[in-house]
A = this chain, B = another copy of it.
Amino acid sequence: MKIAILGFGTVVKGVYEIVKKANVQTQNLSVSHIFIRKNKKRILPEMTDDIDEILEDKQTDVVVEALGGIEPAHEFILKALKQGKHVITANKAVIALYLKEFTDAARENNVKFYFEASVGGGIPWIQGLEKALRIDSVNSISGIFNGTSNFILDQMSKNGESFEEVLQKAQELGYAEADPSADIDGIDVANKLCISADIAYNINIQDRKNLPVFGIRNITAKDVDFFDKNGYSVKLIGRTHQKGNQFDYVVEPTLFVKHTLEANTPDNYNLISLNGDTIGKLDFFGQGAGMFPTANAVVQDLLDIKEEKDHLKRNFESKMEYNPELTSADYLVRSAANIASLFKDYAPTQKDNYIVVHNIPVGKMHEIMDLILKVDESAFMVSLPSNSKLAHKKISKQEAVA
């Protein structure tokens, strides 16, 4: 099977290595072309900067898109599918936007569009979810989808360091990029959550901008210490629920009591969970990023294409309404501004430096937080587990601030 790879980053190097491994070698996968941008040096004979040379080559069976970003990735993927080539990509940003378009084009041209590596890296999450869906309705998904932010929170918790110190360390280790925004502001998690929800509910999320996202940029060493002293670990979580023909989704820092799997997911690992009506709670834990785990997922897709293994067929045409008030939660909010009155409908109480907000719809909470950030750009919020002792201990008169 002849493979063209678009891009020549870390993951591609991993694919090159894995294709040479004993178990995989027998499958006769070979790389026929590598597309590089015009200004890059052609260090291998199979390199080209002419995309049409690849797309028009009748010998090429599969295109692995590893350019990242939206364009020209979107354009190239679509062209490749229309030329009758299978496409594999790990590019969550472009899939989150165009999953339905790509899937339709693949079906129309009788080829496969596979993207296991896009969510959870080496964790077999996409296929695990698809497999559960053959039998079950999956009515919730929740997870630590981003290794970089988990590394930062884990280090802050272990060493009492500040967010800035740990971010710098993560950048030095190559875990975080020079512009860390996608990781720390929850954008990467949002993309992965949208892809997961599209599959779980067979929908086509087009207005991703509605998705409430709050990242970890504003967390302080004092926050982490306070959570720890009260028996909690903080994690950046993406989660979604479905009920009837409504769903919600959110990306936000979330507290977990110490004996949960989430609280004990260390370093840059990922942990992704689904809840199905017969399978119950199923969790997948592993390396969500890194050269070899991600390349492993790409090669798994290549082998599925080679062995003509069909993944679950989805048309992403179910009608389901996003309801920002579908679920409610308790929150801790920290701000130097006087914010208690904003939460007067949600029984606000004071706890240390935090306002505790009770039973507020998730969408509403994020709406109010957007207002708070306009007057205090260092404000922080975190959601609490249901029945948290922190939120529900008896409220004394002194503590009530409303």
A-side interface residues toward B, CB under 8 Å? 14, 17-18, 21, 23-24, 122-124, 127-128, 131, 133-137, 258-261, 263-266, 276, 278-287, 290, 292-293, 295-296, 299-300, 303, 307, 309-310
* Contact B264–A280 (Cβ < 8 Å): no
A285 touches B261 (CB 8 A): yes
Contact of A136 among B17, B128, B276, B296 (CB under 8 A): B296
Instruction: Return chain B residues, CB-CB under 8 Å to A260.
Output: 264
Are B310's CB and A292's CB within 8 A? no
Rounded to whole Å, the gap between the CB of A264 and the closest CB of chain B is: 5
Q: Do the beta carbons of A261 and B259 come within 8 Å of each other?
A: no
By a CB distance below 8 angstroms, the chain B residues around A286 are 279-283
Contact B280 A292 (CB under 8 A): yes
**Smallest CB-CB separation from A260: which chain B residue?**
B264
Asked if A23 and B300 sit within 8 Å, CB to CB, the answer is: no
Residues on B with beta carbons closer than 8 Å to the beta carbon of A263:
264
Contact status A131-B300, CB under 8 Å: yes
- Shortest Cβ distance from residue A33 to the other chain B in the assembled complex, whole angstroms: 23
Assuming the contacts A261-B261, A280-B122, asked whether A23 and B133 have C-beta atoms less than 8 A apart, the reply is yes
Can you list 24 A-B contacts (CB < 8 A)?
A14-B278, A18-B278, A21-B136, A23-B135, A23-B137, A24-B134, A122-B278, A122-B282, A135-B299, A258-B258, A259-B264, A261-B261, A261-B264, A278-B293, A280-B287, A280-B290, A281-B286, A282-B286, A283-B284, A283-B285, A283-B286, A284-B284, A307-B310, A309-B310
Given contacts A24-B135, A261-B264, A264-B260, contact A287 B296 (CB under 8 A): no
Q: How far is the CA of A131 from the CA of B127 in the complex (A)?
A: 11
Q: CB-nearest residue of chain B relative to A262? A: B264
Contact B278 A135 (CB under 8 A): no
Give Cα distance in the complex from A27 to B395, angstroms: 55
Contacts of A292 in B (CB 8 A): 278-280
Knowing that A23-B135, A135-B303, A264-B264 are A-B contacts, what are 11 other residue pairs whose CB atoms are under 8 Å apart, sorted by A's residue number?
Answer: A21-B278, A24-B135, A127-B131, A276-B296, A278-B292, A280-B286, A282-B285, A283-B283, A284-B285, A285-B285, A307-B310
